[in-house]
Copies of this chain bind each other. A is one copy, B any other.
Amino acid sequence: MESDTRRFVLTLGCPDETGIVARIAGFLADAGAWITEAAYHSDPESDWFFTRQAVRADSVDCDIDEFRRRFATLADEQFHPDTEWRLSDTGTPNRVVLLVSKESHCLIDLLGRAERGEFPGEIAAVIGNHAPLGELAGRFGVPFHLVPFDDPQVSKAQAFERVAALVDAEDPHAIVLARFMQILPPELCQRWAGRTINIHHSFLPSFVGARPYHQAFARGVKLIGATCHYVTADLDAGPIIEQDVIRVDHGDNVADMVRQGRDIETLVLARGVRWHLEDRVLVHGGKTVVFD
């Protein structure tokens, strides 16, 4: 990474009050930080304040560790105790683990983006319950771990233990369910809260659960969609990061919807993961603020 594109990125959420912007701006100015992106949001509903600021790393008069220490002092002294913040360094690549099953479209899309250098992270490993996508990951030089979920000798709970061990070994910044098709047990939802991202193949909250395109076809909707969201223990009900839709008509049967839906799933997941990895998504009260 060239020095002029490396950024320190501050994200912060706290109870809203007068003067927050001034305190942060003063802190950054004191460090000589050149702000390249700054976004703010005040939510009058929850009285919560959100910000994301990116500064040129080479403009700051200290390294990221010292910068974090300084901000921690400021936060302790001048911010509400409920404040949540994070200071990240784009020079440290984000590790990502992908969980997949049989459908290849999201996997190949993310592998392709990573290979051509437009993915803001590093795909550390792919974990899947069927071999073919392992072969695909191998073609892109990404390690694959096969964890079958249909082995009569292995309970689903045991299979998830293996998955969990493999994931945790990578200490990833994001666990991406790229059409994984298995429902994560609540303890993993909890353990990986805020960094587990799913793509659901419907425009949520429509068509929760299984076979959403069949549901969409039966209802006769004129648009089908996909939803990228954080995973919580409540199925398909986590905070939504991104959604999009595509037009269908009476000439499209379920197979046509499945095919066309893949394109939307692919794009929506890629955007959602990008924003998460770039620290553009802040979660509060079951909803997201996305500074895209």
Contacts and interface: CB of A to CB of B under 8 A. Distances in A.
Given A22-B25, A37-B251, A112-B112, 19 more contacts: A18-B33, A18-B35, A18-B59, A21-B29, A25-B26, A39-B40, A104-B112, A104-B115, A105-B116, A118-B262, A203-B223, A204-B221, A205-B207, A206-B206, A222-B240, A222-B241, A249-B290, A250-B290, A267-B267
A242 interface: yes
Interface stretch (A41-49, A75-83, A165-173, A191-199): A41-49
A201 B41 CA distance: 26
Nearest to A45: B253
A222 to B, nearest CB: 4
Dominant secondary structure at the A interface? mixed
A152 interface: no
A38 interface: yes
Interface of A: 18-19, 21-22, 24-26, 28-29, 32-45, 50, 59, 103-105, 108-109, 112, 115-116, 118, 139-140, 203-207, 219-223, 225, 239-245, 247, 249-251, 253, 259, 262-263, 267, 270, 286-290
Given A22-B29, A112-B104, A240-B219, A263 B267 contact: yes
Which 10 A-B pairs give the minimum distances between C-beta atoms? A220-B287, A22-B25, A22-B29, A38-B40, A25-B25, A250-B289, A108-B112, A21-B25, A222-B243, A139-B139
25 contacts: A18-B32, A18-B34, A21-B21, A21-B38, A25-B25, A25-B26, A35-B42, A36-B44, A39-B39, A39-B40, A105-B116, A108-B108, A108-B112, A139-B139, A139-B140, A203-B206, A205-B207, A205-B221, A219-B287, A220-B287, A221-B243, A222-B240, A222-B241, A222-B242, A250-B289
A220 B45 CA distance: 13
B44 A253 contact: yes
B43 A21 contact: no
A25 B286 CA distance: 30
Contacts of A243: 221-223
A273 B286 CA distance: 34
B116 A112 contact: no
A37 B44 contact: no
A291 to B, nearest CB: 9
Contacts of A105: 112, 116
Contacts of A221: 204-205, 240, 243
A40 B220 CA distance: 18
Contacts of A39: 39-40
A28 B22 contact: yes
